Amino acid sequence: MKTSTVVGATIGLLAVAAVGYAIYFDSKRRNDPEFRRRLKKERKRVLKLAHEEAKTLSNKSAQTVEEAFAGISEDDFPTSMEQREKFCMEQLSAGEALFTQGPEHYAQAAICFFKALKVYPAPAELVMVYQKTIPPEVFTLVMGMLSKDVQSKHERYYTVFPPKDMNVEVKEKPEGVAADGQEVMRRGLVARKSFSAGEIIYTEEPIISSLEPSLEGKNFCHYCLKQIVNEESKVPCSKCTQAVFCSVECKVSASQEFHDVLCTKDLEYASSPEHSLHAYTKTTRKLVLEMLAKFLVMMVHEGSQNSRPEYSSFDHMEQLRYLGISSSEEEEKEMELLKGALGSNIPGIDEFITEERYLLMKGRLLYNIYGISTSLDPNLDDVEPLPERHRSVCDAPITGVGFYKVTSYLMHSCKPNAKIVFSEYDHKVSLITTREVKAGDELFVGYIKNDSLSTEERRLELFDKYRIRCMCPLCETTD
């Protein structure tokens, strides 16, 4: 008799027996109370055993993850692009060879796959590959190590940021009480040492900045936003008329960080996606979309460097407060413009820019960007206020906006103890005390011009723009 016939007959007999037992079982369950009690007791016993076994497996897996993660050091990973690529391929090959040898080698295989993930330029893509190609047990261990790595990195963040030479640290501060009575906390910037009035606490260059659209291609640097006084020192972009630079250094920095990708190349491609994005910025005078495009290109540039920082610009952005933004036709249009401008240069950008991620990134920029004043002429003509919200108490015309890692943590006060100054007339910010500051004092600046506003008007504007109900001494004494 053929094997297939035997198998078929066996399956048939088992099916008949199963149906017969099901009928018997159902009759006993409905008519025999003692049987029901025994059945209930047996279910409890089985569930308890299953729970204990699952707990044992979970603890064993967690222990394996802990042991594996503890044995991995940052020194294990190469720095140069060539070395990282070679290292990644070696770890992938080793991991595949190990898991094919059986479950006893799964832990070591997971370590190899995790190491490959740490140096791979697009880790999210590699995770999706792992999910389809490696055993579930190995994948679970890899994800456990990744989760542990993210948790460890998150917990360590404020021990290394901001750098100590900036004389400030981030501390949690009370912000009020929630409806359920729980204290609400926020993060604020605190002085590490004492300062007299008029002292510079720190200077900081932005992660990214953007020039006021009406000033493009004229006498302001497309990179550092500095006003170009001498026509002879102007360095134009060779491919577009939208960008000029104050120096060769600024041109090189812009080209490396974002301009090579976002340049409109107006002499060659008049209908390119880059043109469409630029035209939107020029027409609406809204700079956040352009800043997000620069930011994402710069992330790729950061990842290509041999000596990458421990925390990327995206890591810094994710720590910041944000405005909640609802999706609209405007946001949908902006997402499409962004994907179009970056699609041919950044693989996987369509998958990365989800609606949720786009709204979060835009909300973080809108909450944290500062207006920048770099004009040498306090009466600069033809520069109107920008339509998008930005922190600013400068009397001089706003020539652009900037997004800063440390300065974003400064909270508002209508009676601040520090102020933002662009002392070198470029996008680099200086934080200067307006009165004596002691070590441990929180630092405050003004987000809005409040000279002519009542307490009610100030609070209304601050709540509308930043969801802040100002409790500063000036507002409290005039409440």
One-character DSSP codes across 74-110: GGGS--SHHHHHHHHHHHHHHHHHHHTT-GGGHHHHH
What pLDDT does residue 479 have? 55
Q: Which residues pair with 187 in a beta bridge?
A: 172
The one-character DSSP state at 253 is H
- Give the residue from 373, 454, 369 showing the smallest Cα distance to 414: 454
How far is the C-alpha of 74 from the C-alpha of 456, rounded, in Å?
52
Q: Calculate the alpha carbon distances from 238 to 230, 242, 315, 380, 455 in Å.
A: 19, 10, 34, 28, 51
- Give the residue from 141, 91, 477, 154 showing the smallest Cα distance to 315: 154
Tens of pLDDT along the chain (479 residues) come to 322 232 233 223 333 333 333 433 444 444 556 655 665 665 566 455 544 444 444 444 556 666 666 667 666 788 777 888 899 999 999 999 999 998 888 888 888 998 898 888 777 778 888 988 999 888 888 888 888 888 888 888 999 999 999 999 999 998 877 778 788 889 999 999 999 999 999 999 999 999 999 999 989 999 999 999 998 999 999 999 889 999 999 999 999 999 999 998 875 556 789 999 999 999 999 999 999 999 999 988 887 776 677 788 999 999 999 999 999 999 999 999 999 999 888 888 888 899 999 999 999 999 999 999 999 887 776 788 899 999 987 777 899 999 999 999 999 999 999 999 999 999 999 999 999 999 999 999 999 887 778 888 888 888 888 888 888 788 877 65
First to last CA, the chain: 96
- Return the amino acid letter for 108: Q
Number of H helices, E strands in the chain: 16, 12
What pLDDT does residue 180 have? 80
Residues in Cβ contact with 357 at an 8 Å cutoff, skipping those fewer than 6 apart: none
State the DSSP H helix or E strand holding residue 169, giving kind and residue range, or none if neither: strand 168-177
- Give the residue from 270, 399, 346 showing the smallest Cα distance to 279: 270
Give me the architecture of the 71-160 domain, per CATH: Up-down Bundle (1.20)
Domain locations in the chain as residue ranges:
14-59, 71-160, 208-371
Q: What is the pLDDT of residues 147-164, one digit of tens each?
A: 888 888 888 899 999 999
How far is the C-alpha of 324 from the C-alpha of 44, rounded, in Å?
47
The two structure tokens encoding residue 398: 């706003």
Contact (CB, 8 A) for 342 and 261: yes
**Concatenated DSSP letters for 382-396?**
T-PPPSS--B---SS
State the DSSP H helix or E strand holding residue 133, giving kind and residue range, or none if neither: helix 123-133
Residues in Cβ contact with 275 at an 8 Å cutoff, skipping those fewer than 6 apart: 264, 266, 269
Q: Which residues pair with 172 in a beta bridge?
A: 187
| Buried residues in 335-364 as b, exposed as e (16+ CB within 10 A) | bebbbebbeeebeebeebbeeeebbbbbbb
How far is the C-alpha of 123 from the C-alpha of 153, rounded, in Å?
16
The two structure tokens encoding residue 112: 């190899």
Q: What is the pLDDT of residues 27-47, one digit of tens each?
A: 444 455 665 566 566 556 645
pTM of the model: 0.78
Give phi and psi for 26, each to the nearest 5: -65, -40
